[in-house]
Structure 1
């Protein structure tokens, strides 16, 4: 099928554009309101105020918009085409000899423009905003003792000691409670003269209900004219640093850009650490545009057909149900990839292939 842009492409694109943006604004707005109300429980902890909560929510808006765009694209596309179907405009376009496939191309063009904007935002504005949001929250709750750096993990200060951890995560313990594990930890102790009194490097720093423990410790202590080194397998660390504030300062895989995810994957593999959580998010970014277009094209056939067959409400419901099935299928394959340890590229390629195949069958049944 040879494609040439026509006036009706602009008309269809404008109709879909408007309903997608409206649906998108509603979904993101509801999520922002719920997130802001959820922050009220933390107001008063440390220096955390309502102003900090509002700033945190506003910084996370780009990430929320990225997350909700696929859902908004499906619902908005069906609503836009449904409005045209209700006024018989789609019927008129069909009477001109335009097939459903050709009309779907017009919809895909409009969605491609928005998807490209979202991909760019997901790699730039989204991670930047989430990083700033985490800094605001961690700094306020931690009493201005915690900050985050894009390339060097989390930094914290306690008295004359500065701590830097390259990465870390929280683990659920059997029963109740969590354990925070900071990896590749460096601690700098500053003397009264402003020079470094000692430098400690630990493979990890773990915090649970019993406090902090340093493991694989190598400590260099500097005198006026000397330096000594000691190596310790494990030792307790008497620190009052807030583990929750440190955990909130760590960048979660879903909040990193694709480039940073790739760097984190390579770092973790070099050091024998599990990188599958990072690989999961990394490949989901690459398949994001394909997933959006496949999902919308698979749902578009529900916008066509006779209004006497059940009305636009029925087709909209079926389209949304179809979209929900897509995300459940993607979630299933993603979890299977994590459990069975097969390539995430296969897991993220299968759902759009399945959906595009189903869409092709639907178009063939209602060909025209």
Structure 2
């Protein structure tokens, strides 16, 4: 049996390779077309190609469930066409037994994609986003990636952008009293991050309101005890989908500690944990596709039907994620329940197919 298991796993991995070779160039071309719209004097074609290349691992991770489904259908479907699956069934191997061997290949793929997401895809995607924003800022005159907010007690802080990825610019600090009345407003052009959370602010404007009177002060430099996580400041400027699981966990901890909403990032974290489960579900769905109507249905038709099923599952999963954030549902439930449900359906389908046969 070990020889048969190795043979099946080898064929499934060949199917994964074929599916990846078809899907990755297609989606990378679409990504490049999207980047071409932003090409200008600062952001050139060479940089656009570099950005697309650096986001290729992220695209592979995102397409992992599709690769598992289509690769499994291609591998098992080809074995069905050559009558090898029928031979294995005649030798006493059940569909469940073949499905579990296929699931083992899917488990290896899911673990590999999870490791790649953590240590390859996320760092490269963040580097690509930084390269893109810096190149576009060189001609558009700013490097704004989106504001970064922080809060501690009655003090709020905002950073307009990060110059060169690590220099806070357009720094604003708001201080309120116990009645939620603004007591002090501070604005600085940029800040130098010092040890122990101290920032040296430059070109500072300070406004204060005391007993109904307003005062104004202009300073060249001023120190400020930051309430923002300077060790991970660059991380929090990136979109949630580009962060690794560790970065998401640390940022969620910061948001909770500063009484800010963190549902979007919690769902993103649990979605990353649910993606391997969805990959396993997809590879199991390939088993009934391979066995159903072997003679009357061509391999191309099965692949087309599998692509439609995969797309529907992806759309349903995204709808559930967004509805979960909108209605404030439990992030662990929103992030993993769809994948667990699909895995349960796939297992039921395989076992039911075996009983019917």
2:295 is paired with a residue whose SS is helix
Q: Structure 1 unaligned runs (5+)? A: 167-183, 203-217, 230-248
2:107 is the counterpart of 1:112? yes
TM-score, scaled to structure 2: 0.73
User: Secondary structure of the equivalent of 1:307?
Assistant: coil
Aligned match for 2:244, one of 248, 257, 267: 257
CA contact (8 A) 1:163 1:185 kept: no
> How far apart are the structure 2 equivalents of 1:66 and 1:95?
37
1:73 aligns with 2:32: no
Alignment size in residue pairs = 300
Residue of 27, 31, 45 corresponding to 1:31? 27
2:262 alignment partner in structure 1 = 275
1:320 counterpart = 2:318: no
1:163 is aligned to 2:168? yes
Report SS of the residue matched to 2:342: helix
Residue of structure 2 aligned with 1:221, choices 178, 201, 219: 219
1:198-237 aligned at under 5 Å gives the runs 198-199=203-204, 221=219
Displacement of 1:99 = 0.7
- 1:9 matches 2:5: yes
Q: In the alignment, does 2:352 pair up with 1:357?
A: no
Distance 1:228 1:83 in 2: 68
Tell me what 2:179 maps to: none
Contact 1:56/1:136, CA 8 A, preserved across alignment: yes
CA distance in 2, matches of 1:275, 1:40: 33
User: 2:38 aligned with 1:42, yes or no?
Assistant: yes
Structure 1 stretches of at least 4 aligned residues deviating more than 6 Å after TM superposition? none
SS at structure 1 position matched to 2:138: coil
Give the Cα separation in 1 of the matches to 2:217 and 2:168: 14
Task: Measure, in 2, the Cα distance between the counterparts of 1:74 and 1:165.
Answer: 47
> Are 1:337 and 2:324 counterparts?
yes
Distance 1:289 1:201 in 2: 51
Q: Deviation per CA, 1:275-309, whole angstroms, max 9, x where unpaired?
A: 22211211101111111001221342111134234
CA shift, 1:322, in A, is: 3.2
Instruction: Give the aligned partner of residue 227 of structure 2.
Output: none
2:91 to 96, 100, 104: 96
Q: Note if contact 2:277-2:339 (Cα within 8 Å) is conserved in structure 1.
A: yes
Gaps of 5+ in 2: 150-158, 172-185, 193-199, 208-215, 225-235
2:68 match: secondary structure? helix
CA distance in 1, matches of 2:219, 2:169: 18
Per the alignment, do residues 140 and 335 of structure 1 end up closer, same or farther by CA in structure 2, a change over 3 Å counting?
Answer: closer
User: Would the alpha carbon gap of residues 201 and 103 (structure 1) be closer, same or farther in structure 2, given more than 3 Å must change?
Assistant: farther
